[in-house]
Amino acid sequence: MALRVVFAGTPEFAVPCLDAVLGTGAEVLAVYTQPDRPAGRGRQPLASPVKQRAEAAGIEVRQPQTLRDADEQAALAALRPDLMVVVAYGLLLPRKVLEIPRHGCWNVHASLLPRWRGAAPIQRAIEAGDAETGVCLMQMERGLDTGPVLLESRTPISEQDTGGSLHDRLSTLGAAVLAEGLAGLVAGRELEARPQPEAGVTYAHKLDKAEARLDWSGSAEALARRVRAFHPWPVAEAELAGERLRIHAAEPVAGSGVPGSLLPAPRGCLHVACGDGALSLLRVQRAGGKVISAADLVNARRELLAPR
C-alpha cells in the first residue's frame, strides 16, 4: 500500500519537495498552502507556486487561514495520513495537528540546525559570513524548528552566492534529502532522530525592507555580504552623491576615506569608502530605472568620477 501523505508548503522553494513526494509513488491526499495573495500592479489574487504545481498534478488543494480551528483539524484527520510533509508552509502547526499523522510531521528546513532556526535562514547565513549551510529533514515538534534531525545535507557558501542562488541550491538539496527519508520510511528503515544540541542555537529573523538600507560606516566586507544576502529581495539600497540607488551587486576592495565618499577607481568603476575598506559597486538601479552597470551610471553622471 502506498504511503499516504499530506503536503504543506507555499513558495517556490517547496515545489521540488512536492515533486520529490510525487516521485516516490506516495499517495498525496491533499496539499495545504497559504490563501491566494494580491500581487502585481493589478493586485489580483495570485495562487502560490505550490498551489499551481498541485493543481497541475490534479491534487486537492486546501487553503485554510489557520489550522487551529477544530473543523479544519477534523478535516485533516479524516484524510488518515501516514505522514505530513511541511516545507516553508507559513503557518504554525498546533500540537493536535502534529499528532494526526501516524508517523508525525516532517519539515525540510534550509539550515544546519540548530543554527538559523526561523524565517530567513538562507539570507542570514550569507549575511553572517558562514562558510557553509545546508538542509535538515526534521521531525517536527511544538517548538520553532526545535525537533530532532533525521537527515542533513551540506553545501559551502561561496563569495559569489546570493540569496537567490543559495535558495535554488538548497531547494534542490532539500528535495533530495526528503526523497531519501521517504525511501527509508517506505522500506521500513528506522531513521535515527538526532536531538539538536543546545549549544549553537541562532535565530534567522524575518527580513525587513528597512534592513536593506546600507550604512557606509559599516565594513565593506559586511556590506558586500548584505548585498548578496538581500538579492533578489529586498535588494540593498544606499545614498550616493545625493541619489538613492538600489545595489544589485558589489564587492569589497582596498581603499579608505570618509564613509560614503567616492574614491579613485579604475575606469567604469565606482568605489565607495566604508568604515573599513571600500565597496566597489558592480550593478545598480536608479529610481524607476532598470539594472545597469557601474560604468553605465558613471556615463550618465560624470560628476561621480572621483579625482584620480
Residue numbering of the annotated binding site = 111-114
CA–CA dist 88, 33 (Å, integer): 9
> Helix, strand, or coil here: 86?
strand
Using the CB atoms, write b or e for 147-156: b if 16+ within 10 Å.
bbbbbbbebe
User: SS3 helix, strand, coil % of the chain, rounded to 5?
Assistant: 30, 30, 45
The annotated binding site for (6S)-5,6,7,8-tetrahydrofolate is made up of 111-114
Which residues are within 8 A (CB) of 253 and not within 5 positions of it... i.e. 6 or more apart? Answer: 220, 271, 277, 278, 279, 280
CA–CA dist 23, 178 (Å, integer): 11
**Among candidate residues 142, 84, 143, 135, the one with its CA nearest the CA of residue 113:** 135
CA–CA dist 234, 127 (Å, integer): 13
Strand partners, 285: 246, 291
What Rg, from alpha-carbon coordinates, does the chain have?
23
Strand partners, 27: 4
What is the DSSP secondary structure assignment for residue 61, as one 8-state letter?
Answer: E
Cell representation of residue 224: 558586500
* Torsion sign, CA atoms 254, 257, 259, 260: negative
Residue with cell 540546525: 113
CA–CA dist 181, 36 (Å, integer): 30
Cell representation of residue 308: 584620480
